[in-house]
A and B are shown apart, each in its own frame.
Chain A
Amino acid sequence: DADVTQTPRNRITKTGKRIMLECSQTKGHDRMYWYRQDPGLGLRLIYYSFDVKDINKGEISDGYSVSRQAQAKFSLSLESAIPNQTALYFCATSSSEGMGDQPQHFGDGTRLSIL
């Protein structure tokens, strides 16, 4: 989905390095999310943010931090990367407007490998 842009698309790095994954969106959505996907485990929520001043931990936040720099930007940091953080990472957005829960829309993902 070109409206949700993740950078970089691929990254290989070494254990102990600090890594930042960035997400920007042009959908005008107020809510943003970070997930990781591992084979056989599905998508797991790391952090989510409902607006610029709101940050919430998800299911697996240990070892990660986030920053919501603007409504359109949400970055994920690994302060000291470890090999079991090797995964496919997705950013997603959704809107709080409208009736009922609105679906999430995903970026193209960042494939992260930690050696």
Chain B
Amino acid sequence: ETGVTQSPTHLIKTRGQQVTLRCSSQSGHNTVSWYQQALGQGPQFIFQYYREEENGRGNFPPRFSGLQFPNYSSELNVNALELDDSALYLCASSLDLAGGRVYSDTQYFGPGTRLTVL
């Protein structure tokens, strides 16, 4: 069984730039969620994708957007980067058997991408 993978591991950008983070879900999982984790805090829910459509979103502005592909891999895009966007970005995959309900029993997290905005 292949776990959740994320790329890149680390990334440095400057304010105003755009960034794309990638996630490969665990084999057989159809749902992916993205989280932002600032240093010393718990993860904050950004959004979730099920069958290539966004079906849940946290309190993040529209410059945070995403995609889920037919093979269940996913991207998180952030436009117009701000200094406060510096954080660990986590991807989590799960198998949702309830037709799009946000959360199934177990979410498996990837190792994260550390984004630094200068």
Decide whether A and B assemble into one complex: no
